[in-house]
Structures are given as structure tokens and as C-alpha cells.
Structure 1
């Protein structure tokens, strides 16, 4: 069994898509631009805030202009840090995290959500002290699916790849794990677009009550 479990955040532990959508439309409304639908907004999630804004800008204006993108990105972060009202924790996540810690497993977080909105979300959820190491999408010069953020979490925890399992929900997370050479559990109820069986994984799960069993079944490093 792993010594530590490292999680993605949005789409894996929490469903923040409704609040991200509201933040996006608050920006667009303030700029006098067309609004996006919830499904559009949800489809933009996964590669970090800057890419989200680029996709949003392209959808409503038909082009990306560097200065405008930078302005929209800054406005989006302003709203994003305050967007928690409709964010919910996925079923049985809280019990699972508590159970893993009680079993002696260490917890880390590797997300493409920018660090300040990540901190704000964790504070809102009462999770500020839950994860030993937190890496956000802007902590390093690169973000997932580059494996560097995941490897940085592992390094800061003083662990090695065989000692961890990474848990995520998306194509981005699967690619990150594969490129890092990490064991990977895919939560199938998040923001993934492709069929789960087509993505890199060691196991699939749709219920956090089953996560401890999946982890226990992995070969001990």
C-alpha cells in the first residue's frame, strides 16, 4: 500500500464547476461580452486558469488577443478567489480523507487551480491543514499535464514515486501520472470527456467508499 496519496482538486475532491461558471460570466458581463453556458464553461476546465480564460475568450470573441487575455485572466482570478457558494464536496470524500489519515497515509494536493484560489477553497472547506504539501497551477513555471508539479509534491513530501498514488479525474491528470510514471486512480465522476477505459490508470472508481480497497490492492512498493 502507498505511503501517501496525492489528489487533484477540482473534479476529483470537489465540484466547483458552478462557481467557476459564475466567475466566468461575472467577468464577461463586466466587459460587455457574451456570456457562456454552464456546459461551455465546464468544458474549459482542466488546464489551469489561464487556459480556461483563453478558451472562454475564444468562444465569445472568436480570437485570442494577448493583452485582452491578460486582462480577462486578472479579472477572472479576482472573482475565482471568492467563488465558493456553490462548490460542493463529492459524496464520501470527507470520510475517505479522514480514513486515509487514520490509516497512516499522508496526503498531498496537486491541482491546476491557481494557488490563491486553492488556498481560499481549502480554507472555506476547513481543509487548510489537511494536506502536507499543496502545489497550484501557478506554483511552478509549468502546470499539469507536465509531470513537474506532481513530482514537486512528491519531492517536498520527501517521498519517491513508488511510495505514492495519484488520484485525479481527467485526461490532464491521467497524462500527468503517465508521464511521471506514477500509479494513478481515476475518479470517473469528474470533468473527464473521454471514456475512462481509454485513459491511463491503475484503477477506476466512482465512489470514495471504495478508494481504500483499491489502494490496498495495489502492490506494495
Structure 2
């Protein structure tokens, strides 16, 4: 396979893009809610709450089951985190075709990054447990910098840590497409993620239904921009 490729760096969101983390996020959220005396939130609802970090997920879970106060968030957050750390990849599944796509990108000299609003420590633990300890060249989490997505700074940082160059971003939510737009980086949205709205309303440069489509789509975007 030729070494040349139109992008030097491809960055990915984590939750709902690289992996279906909803089962473990749902379990952790519902564990914390249960300790706080709240009913569980259905897994399908949790999928649409993900994308702004663990604290925001707990806030949304509390709001969905009753009153949400910062006192309850402060009480429930360590409960959520402790449980999630112990069960971070129990039910999480890598999306089909992803590992093969990452292999093909790496073989063509592309640097791979993760840019997520998940706290960096949680993201690293999740990635390690999924067998990706050495897979990515850079990881920027929601607390790596003073700002988080959709501010473009985390994406800029991820690209810089990969050595810079022409980059593309892959995500699943409006947070991701707004981040790409703010960074002037073309963004591909997966149709199987955790979006809180129809994916055709995200404003992505392209949509993919399977990671088999990733490399042809990246090549098509580069040709269209040439």
C-alpha cells in the first residue's frame, strides 16, 4: 500500500465513535443514581446524554430522575467515578471495522489521535483496557487543557502532539462537528454513535455507516477540497 495519504493526522472522539461505551457508562450512572435514591435511566437515554464528560452525564441523569442540585452532583460524582474505574470496559465494544481501518491508516504513515471530553485518566484507562495502549500517537482529554470541546484548542493540541500537518476529525455528535468547524478541520460523523439529534443535522463534511468507509471517505474529502 502506498505510503502517501492526503491527511497527516486523523483524530477521533472516543465515546460513541471509537467504541460503544454506553453499557459501562449506563451501569456507572445508574449505580450512582441508586446510591442517591434515584431510579435508573434507560441505556438508550444515556446514549444521548454522553459527550460532555462524566460530571455533565451525572447532572443529566439527576435531572432526568428528579431534582438536580450541585450538592447531589458533588455527592454522586465520586461514587460514579469509583464504580466506572472498576468497570470501565466490562461491556464496552470496539465498533466493527475500526481496528482494520486504524491499521490501514498507520500503514500509510498517518498519525492517530484521540480527542475526547472524557477525563484524560478515564480515557487512557479505557483505551488501555481495550488493547490500544500503543495504538494512538496522542490523547487529549476533557481535562488536559483548561478548555474542552467544542473549543478547538483540544483538537489543535492533539494534532500538534502528532507533529502537525493536514488533519481530519472523526466524531459522532454536535460537539464534535462544532469542534471541527471551530478548528477548520474537516469532520466525518459516524451514524452509529451517541448523537442527540439526527446525524444529518450535525453539519459534518461526510457521514459513514461503517469504518470500512473511513479511508475512501477521507480520500474523497481531500479530492473535493483540492
When normalised by structure 1's length, the TM-score is 0.93
More displaced stretch, 114-123 vs 14-23: 114-123
Please give the alpha-carbon distance, in whole angstroms, between the structure 2 residues aligned to 1:87 and 1:219: 32
Q: 1:76 aligns with which of 71, 74, 80?
A: 80
After superposing on structure 2, the runs of 4+ consecutive aligned residues of structure 1 that deviate more than 3 Å are none
DSSP-derived class of the 1:10 partner:
coil
Q: How does 1:19-168 map to 2 (within 5 A)?
A: 19-63=24-68, 65-82=69-86, 83-160=88-165, 163-168=166-171
CA distance 1:17–1:215, change in 2 (3 Å)? same
Please give the alpha-carbon distance, in whole angstroms, between the structure 2 residues aligned to 1:14 and 1:103: 23
Q: How many residues align?
A: 218
DSSP-derived class of the 2:48 partner:
helix
Please say if 1:171 is aligned against 2:170: no
Q: 1:184 aligns with which of 182, 187, 205?
A: 187
Please give the alpha-carbon distance, in whole angstroms, between the structure 2 residues aligned to 1:33 and 1:68: 11
DSSP-derived class of the 1:84 partner:
coil
How far did residue 88 of structure 1 move? Answer: 0.4
Please give the alpha-carbon distance, in whole angstroms, between the structure 1 residues aligned to 2:46 and 2:206: 28
Please say if 1:16 is aligned against 2:10: no
Please give the alpha-carbon distance, in whole angstroms, between the structure 2 residues aligned to 1:100 and 1:135: 20
Please give the alpha-carbon distance, in whole angstroms, between the structure 2 residues aligned to 1:7 and 1:119: 14
Q: How does 1:203-214 map to 2 (within 5 A)?
A: 203-214=206-217
DSSP-derived class of the 2:192 partner:
coil
Please give the alpha-carbon distance, in whole angstroms, between the structure 2 residues aligned to 1:39 and 1:210: 25
Matched-pair contact (CA < 8 Å) for 1:96–1:208: yes
Q: Residues 103-153 of structure 1: CA distance to partner in whole angstroms, max 9, x if unpaired?
A: 111101101111122111111111011111101112122221121211111
Please give the alpha-carbon distance, in whole angstroms, between the structure 2 residues aligned to 1:143 and 1:76: 21
Matched-pair contact (CA < 8 Å) for 1:91–1:207: yes
When normalised by structure 2's length, the TM-score is 0.91
More displaced stretch, 164-173 vs 33-42: 33-42
Please give the alpha-carbon distance, in whole angstroms, between the structure 2 residues aligned to 1:35 and 1:216: 43
More displaced stretch, 27-36 vs 123-132: 27-36
Please give the alpha-carbon distance, in whole angstroms, between the structure 2 residues aligned to 1:183 and 1:44: 24
Q: Which runs of 5+ in 2 are unaligned?
A: 1-5
DSSP-derived class of the 1:34 partner:
coil
Matched-pair contact (CA < 8 Å) for 1:170–1:190: yes
How far did residue 97 of structure 1 move? Answer: 0.6
